Amino acid sequence: MPKKTSGHGHALHKGGLRNYCFACGKDNPEGMRLKFTLDAQRGRALGHFRIPRKYQGPPGHLHGGIIATILDEAMGKVNKLRSVVALTRSMEIEYLKPVPLQQPLLVEGWEMSVRGRRHTNAAEIRNQQGDVLARGKGLFIAIDVARMFQKHLQDYERRNGRRG
């Protein structure tokens, strides 16, 4: 049986910080609250969704920006398989077929290559029949979380009486 782990949230949110990420943040009441599992054996990030009407673009279908958000999130979660936090530098999206609302969807992300801090990942959104509806390719740059988000961590610790 392949080892599957949760791919929810971001590394920054450990230790009591709240996750307000629009795509995966459980603490964002306006967000999508997407949940992923990581399949380490296959090197995949997987999400199963039914997207509600509030994310509509064309009648009965997802908005293109929401499609891009889902693909970006799946590609970003792949970096967790290497225990890396990496931010999106660029993305290419192919909108192949309209993506329906309120229907079972699968998004699957995987790694294409790694060169130093540069991680190139890909993802696809498929319907229940396995048809690829949209795909993306993205370049992610690995960061030092403590250094990049130091101010936010210090503010959190100050507000909550912790010392760094």
CATH number, position 60:
3.10.129.10
13-17, 122-126, 149-153: least confidently modelled range: 13-17
| Burial degree of 67 (CB within 10 A; 0-12, 13-18, 19+) | buried
Query: Which structural domain, as residue segments, surrounds residue 39?
Result: 4-159
Q: Which DSSP category does 104 fall into?
A: -
pLDDT averaged over the chain?
84
First to last CA, the chain: 41
Q: What percent of the chain has pLDDT over 90?
A: 63
In a domain, 27, yes or no: yes
In a domain, 24, yes or no: yes
* 25, 31 Cβ separation under 8 angstroms: yes
More confident residue, 78 or 162: 78
Q: Give the per-residue pLDDT at 50.
A: 93
Q: Give the per-residue pLDDT at 163.
A: 46
In a domain, 164, yes or no: no
Mean pLDDT comparison of 1-10, 25-34, 108-117, 141-150, highest-scoring range: 108-117
Q: How far apart are CA 58 and CA 77, in angstroms?
A: 28
- H helices present in 38-149, as ranges: 64-78, 145-148
In a domain, 113, yes or no: yes
More confident residue, 135 or 23: 135
pLDDT tens, residue by residue, 40-65: 999 999 999 999 999 899 999 999 99
In a domain, 30, yes or no: yes
In a domain, 138, yes or no: yes
> What is the number of structural domains in the chain?
1
pLDDT tens, residue by residue, 111-147: 999 999 999 999 999 999 999 999 999 999 998 877 7
Q: Residue 164: pLDDT above 70?
A: no
Q: Which DSSP category does 99 fall into?
A: P
In a domain, 121, yes or no: yes
